[in-house]
Amino acid sequence: MAKILAVDDSVSMRGMVAFTLRGAGHEVAEAENGQLALDMARGSAFDLVLADVNMPVMDGIAMVRELRAMDAYKGVPILMLTTESHTEKKMEGKAAGATGWLVKPFDPEQLLATVKRVLG
Amino acid sequence: MATVDLTQFHKTFFEESLEGLDAMEAALLALDSGSTDHELVHTIFRAAHSIKGGAATFGFADVAAFTHVAESLLEEVRSERRGVDAELIDLLLRSVDCLRAMLARSSSGQPAADADSEALRGELLRLASGEAVAAPAAAAPGVASATGWAIRFVALPHLLQTGNDPLRLFRELEQLGRLEVRRAFVLDSAPARLAELDPSQCHLGWELRLHGAVARGDVDAVFDWLDGDCELVIESLPGETSATAADPVAMAAPATAPVPAAAPPPACETATVSAASGEGSSIRVDIDKVDALINMMGELVITQSMLSDIGENFRPSQLERLREGLLQLERTTRELQESVMRIRMLPIGSVFNRFPRLVRDLERKLGKQVRLELHGEHTELDKTVLEKIGDPLVHLVRNAIDHGLELPAQRKAAGKPETGTLRLNAYHEGGNIVVQISDDGAGLNRAAIMAKAQQRGLLGAGEEPSDAEVAELIFQPGFSTAAQATDLSGRGVGMDVVRRNVRDLGGSVGVKSEVGKGSVFTIALPLTLAIIDGLVTAVGEERYIVPLTSIVESLRLGAEAVRRIAGGGEVFHFRGEYLPLMRLHRAFGCADAVTEIERGIVVVIEDAGRRVGLLVDDLLGQQQAVIKSLEKHYRRVQGVSGATILSDGSVALIVDVGGVVRLGLRAKAA
């Protein structure tokens, strides 16, 4: 089972993501913005990072950029949770180094399917 | 797999969405007052964006559809394709209101959209450029079921660094059909010597065949995250036909359907929301407060074990330790109690925050100019008090702007700045929270109030009441000076209702006013509703508790200090004014009480600036009293706010200071 970091400023969304993943047996840590996520990522090794795009303090895209600059997170899957249905934000995330994305709204099954996709 | 019950997150979603709307409103108002801080736009956008995402996730399609349109408009502002003007802010503020209503309906299980919300959504749509708002076209489904695909997939060196893995892709392809790897090759970009190979770089390419009736869209979906990370050519196998001629590296749309924004949202969808999700109230507690509580608990456990230790092998020599332990127990209990109470305390800022908006709306409606000053937003109040003080405050603010502040021309004529100032201030005073609403308007109109009072029969024809008494008149039931009931103040809700609401919270409200200079309404509220610090007094055999916060002074008077006035009332001289004296034993009908002034004690109490002296037999000491409702167990009694149980098990009544002061003043006036 994987160690996953869920990053979202929305308590309900983060709660839903964490609850779903924990239900599937994963270990989930939560952060409410990119800055806090970076602090947590420095402290432990996550197998997967799921991050919202729009967040106060540090948004998801800047966070991905910072994570990719860290040796320990060079190849770790990072998925953006985004409502942007146009390609612009996805591409911005990609350019920053994101692995892929999951478009909101998603349901728990879609979340698990996507996580399974990257974790195998 | 067990499905996840999403309703458990609904309450959190509603709470954070309402908070988001508050932040959005505050930022909109800041923009309206001329701020150009770009962060404000981000805040507004983020709030709308989060609500949209959550609403779509948790199945509130109407809310998601509405927010989607607002968000598109905001996106234009954020990317500076659209300027901010008053009209836009107006529209967005109305959207905030509309969303609040939609969320409220959703949380009670009703359809979120109604005619108003649909009309407003239409307005937003018209303003936003049509193109931006159009729902993104759903992915062209790969209808063609070719019997196979030839895939040439060449990884760019950085592919692994994006967290993607060719193996994963192959696994996914395998799930679609039979996968055949025709050829794998090393690219020229690979270093010649193995030692130079960087394991984080990928220099491989593959030629694949996927056999089976696989839709093109499904193949694209496997590679959807890899745009820019690989060279990809997908062709139907020779001899096979494909109905879709998509770009080789077509960005497949995500499997999830985007929210259809243009279509009218099906109103019935939200009806599935469990009604229970809106019920019950919760409280968000600062972690520090919980920690303090746990700390206190720890100390209590230590004290308890120390005391039980002493109790088990008690020797008289340990009396000092026992006393010490009891003292510690008392201190910890008190601190624990305070910590527990503090959990219910929330900053008044959450109530104050609604005023910038209200003031702005009133300004426009009435053609007045108002500068709103907020002070003491961090002052904390009991949650129950906080929830109930909102309406009275709104009423006072409306009144201040509607009746208090003058029109710009009138202010100018009176030599005042055209913009009036409305000040809201909250602060601690003793054991009370005081909230003041002051304006620099015209002040109470004595003549108008008296005329109205006479018309209403509240005042006799020839009476010449003092200014304070005139001010009191506005709190009389059914009193209203507005010549014409505007839709702002004249809602049949008068100052009497404000006073009653505040009194129900154990507080008091008073007004001081000066003609031409303005009015100050002062609301004093108890810190908590559950416990008061009281002075236990003896009146005959009875015990009465006077809330400490209302006591000005206790003193002994000589018989000569008290004067009888016409009508049978008694007054005494205290710090430059004559106060009515109330003999509690007379007011409450207690037997065997002290009746000579010089043998008893006079406790001077104050309520909203008015003072009365209470004659009691003796002062017995201070005590915290846990308030038990008299109303619930018996009935409402004038002058008594509740009862409590004393340490000896007897019952004492708690004096309702406001009520007693009123009784006293009436006696003086009589």
How far lies B183's CA from each of B151, B153, B220, B337, B514, in Å? 11, 10, 20, 75, 94
Longest CA–CA span in chain A (Å) reads: 34
**Model confidence at B220: pLDDT above 50:** yes
CB spacing of B50 vs A54 below 8 angstroms: yes
Cα angle value B47/B52/B54 (rounded, 5°) = 95
Which pLDDT belongs to residue B614? 93
Chain A residues near residue B21 by CB distance under 8 angstroms: none
Q: Is residue B245 part of a domain?
A: no
Could you tell me if B352 and B428 lie in one domain?
Answer: yes
- In three state form, how does the secondary structure of B412-451 look? HHCCCCCCEEEEEEEEEECCEEEEEEEECCCCCCHHHHHH
* C-alpha to C-alpha distance for B612 and B510, rounded to whole angstroms: 15
Structural domain tally of chain B? 5
Distance from C-alpha of B358 to C-alpha of B398, rounded to nearest angstrom: 8
* Residue ending a domain, choose from B489, B511, B526: B526
For residue A76, what are its two tokens?
């770790």
Q: For residues B422 and B507, state if they share a domain.
A: yes
Could you tell me if B431 and B495 lie in one domain?
yes
Tens of pLDDT, residues B332-363: 888 887 788 778 788 898 889 889 988 988 88
Alpha helices in B622-656 (DSSP H): 630-633
Which CATH number covers residue A35? Answer: 3.40.50.2300
Q: How far apart are CA B667 and CA B663, in angstroms?
A: 6
B34 and B77 together in one domain: yes
Cα separation, B23 vs B398, in Å, equals 22
Could you read off the pLDDT of B512-530 as tens digits, one per residue?
Answer: 988 889 999 999 887 766 6
Strands B178-186 and B230-236, sheet pairing = unpaired
B224 Cα to chain A: minimum distance (Å): 8
- B266 within domain boundaries: no
Residue B249 lies in a domain: no
Q: Find the range with the poorest average confidence among B167-181, B266-280, B413-427.
A: B266-280
Residues B213, B312 within the same domain:
no
In a domain, B604, yes or no: yes
Give domain status of residue B595, yes or no: yes
Nearest to A12 among B12, B251, B259 (CB): B12
- In this predicted structure, what is the pLDDT of residue B434? 92
Tell me if B572 sits within 8 A of B561, measured CB to CB.
Answer: yes
- Among A5, A8, A9, A12, the strongest candidate for a mutation testing the B interface, having the largest count of B CBs within 10 A, is A12
Query: What pLDDT is recorded for position B488?
Result: 42
Tell me how crowded residue B555 is: count the other CB atoms within 10 A of its CB.
13
Closest residue on chain A to B7 (Cα): A16
**Pairing relation of β-strands B551-555 and B577-583?**
unpaired
- Domain span at residue B292? 287-343
Mark whether B549 and B598 lie in a shared domain. Answer: yes
- pLDDT above 60 for B272: no
pLDDT at B653 over 50: yes
The set of long-range contacts for B477-485, using a CB threshold of 8 Å and a minimum separation of 24, is B479/B452, B479/B453, B480/B452, B481/B403, B481/B445, B481/B448, B481/B449, B481/B452, B482/B402, B482/B403
What's the CA gap between B346 and B475, in Å, rounded?
29
**Phi, psi at residue A28, to the nearest 5°?**
-120, 130
How many other C-beta atoms can be found within 10 angstroms of the C-beta atom of residue B501?
20
Cα gap B90→B602, rounded to integer Å: 58
Helix locations, chain A, DSSP H:
11-23, 34-43, 60-68, 87-96, 108-119
Which tops the pLDDT comparison, B489 or A75? A75
Question: Does the pLDDT at position B406 exceed 50?
Answer: yes
pLDDT confidence of residue B243: 43
Q: Indicate the number of domains in chain A.
A: 1
Residue B449, token pair as written in the block: 């109030």
If pLDDT is split at 50, 70 and 90, which confidence band does B241 have? Answer: very low
We report the CATH number of the domain holding residue B206 as 3.30.70.360
pTM for the complete prediction? 0.55
Query: Residue B647's domain is classified under what CATH number?
Result: 2.40.50.180
The set of residues, in sequence order, having a beta carbon less than 8 Å from that of B133 and lying 6+ positions away, is B68, B69, B72, B73, B125, B261, B262
B:216-245 residues touching chain A, CB 8 A cutoff: 224-225, 227-229
- Are residues B16 and A77, on separate chains, in Cβ contact within 8 Å? no
Nearest CA in chain A to B46: A54
> Are B511 and B566 in the same domain?
no
- The closest of B568, B549, B572, B545 to B559, measured between CA atoms, is B572
State whether A105 and B9 contact (CB < 8 Å): no
Is A61 within 8 Å of A93 (Cβ atoms)? yes
B535 and B648 together in one domain: yes
Are B458 and B481 in contact by the 8 Å Cβ rule? The answer is no
User: Rounded to 5 degrees, what are φ and ψ at B277?
Assistant: -65, -25
CA angle B212, B216, B219 (to 5 degrees): 80
Between A and B, how many CB-CB pairs are < 8 A? 120
Q: What is the CATH number of the domain that holds B504?
A: 3.30.565.10
Mean of pLDDT values over B384-410: 88
Cα separation, B393 vs B389, in Å, equals 6
CA pair distance B378, B424, nearest whole angstrom? 13
The interface pTM score, or ipTM, of the predicted complex is 0.82
Domain of residue A32, residue span: 3-119
Contact A103 B50 (CB under 8 A): no
- Does B505 fall in a domain? yes
Q: Are B108 and B278 in contact (CB under 8 A)?
A: yes
> Among candidates B529, B523, B496, which has minimal Cα distance to B508?
B523
Q: Is A8 exposed, middle or buried (0-12, 13-18, 19+ CB in 10 A)?
A: buried
Confidence of residue B416 (pLDDT cuts 50, 70, 90): very high
Per-residue confidence (pLDDT) for residue B3, from 0 to 100 = 65
Asked if B522 and B652 sit in the same domain, the reply is: no
User: Are B548 and B507 in a shared domain?
Assistant: no
Q: What percent of chain B has pLDDT over 70?
A: 86
Query: Among B433, B650, B655, B629, which residue's Cα sits nearest to residue B548?
Result: B655
**HEC letters along B187-225:** CCCCCCCHHHCCCCCCCEEEEEEEEEEEEHHHHHHHCHH
**B-chain residues near A13 (CB < 8 A):** 50, 53-54, 57
pLDDT reading at B172 higher than 70: yes
Question: Does any domain span residue B478?
Answer: yes
Are the C-beta atoms of residues B522 and B436 closer than 8 Å to each other? Answer: yes
Q: What does the block give as tokens for B32?
A: 């309206």
The predicted pLDDT at position B314 comes to 84
Closest to B53 in 3D by CA, of A84, A35, A109: A84
d(CA B541, CA B547) in angstroms, rounded, equals 20
Among B657, B396, B389, CA closest to B513: B396
∠ Cα B520 B524 B525 (to 5°): 145
Is residue B451 domain-shared with residue B493, that is, in the same domain? yes
Instruction: Tell me if A54 and B49 make a contact (CB, 8 A cut-off).
Output: yes
d(CA B150, CA B130): 40
Nearest to A118 among B10, B50, B168 (CB): B168
B172–A85 CB contact, under 8 Å: no
Residue at B663 is within a domain: yes
- Which of A41-45, A53-57, B234-238 shows the lowest mean pLDDT across its residues? B234-238
B357 and B487, same domain (yes or no) = yes
B480 pLDDT exceeds 80?
A: no
Question: Chain B closest CA to A108's CA: distance in Å?
Answer: 7
Whether chain A has a CB inside 8 Å of the CB on B163: the answer is yes
> What letter would DSSP give residue B155?
E
Place B228 in a pLDDT band, splitting at 50, 70 and 90: confident
